[in-house]
């Protein structure tokens, strides 16, 4: 099953998005929050993100969703730190909440990486009204 990592500057936001996505997707999904700094402060930590990616990996790939620009930079750095050349891990350019839920629901069905990524990216065009 494709794993998902939520990267936010806030630990509470990352954990909250994971909670919401789990409610929609159900159990069994590797959905890992990588929010905030190790000391609980606001920020992003490339090593924390790297560990989350490795934890989320089950062999089918890991999709990473980020909240703001420097979270993307930290996630890119984390990708450079990975030692496993076979691990497919990518950042999705999508709204973090909508994209996370869409990706989690599709991932929970056992869909392949490209379908999970496509679901997350589709969230960019979701209208609310």
Just list the catalytic residues: 9
Bridge-based pairing state of the strands 89-92 and 3-8: unpaired
Which whole-number Å values give the CA distances from 117 to 13, 24, 45, 67, 122, in the listed order?
21, 17, 23, 16, 9
Upper half-sphere CA count for residue 22 (Cβ side, 13 Å): 15
Q: DSSP assignment, residue 34? A: E
């Amino acid at each position: 099953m494709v794993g998902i990592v939520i990267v936010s500057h806030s630990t509470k936001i990352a954990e909250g998005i994971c909670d919401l996505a789990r409610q929609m997707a159900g159990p069994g999904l590797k959905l890992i929050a990588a929010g905030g700094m190790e000391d609980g402060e606001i920020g992003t930590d490339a090593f924390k993100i790297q560990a989350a990616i490795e934890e989320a990996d089950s062999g089918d790939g890991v999709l990473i969703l980020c909240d703001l620009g420097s979270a993307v930079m930290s996630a890119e750095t984390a990708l450079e730190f990975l030692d496993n050349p076979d691990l497919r891990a990518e950042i999705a350019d999508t709204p973090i909440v909508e994209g996370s839920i869409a990706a989690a629901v599709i991932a929970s069905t056992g869909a392949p990486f490209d379908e999970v990524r496509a679901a997350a990216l589709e969230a960019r065009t979701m209208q609310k009204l």
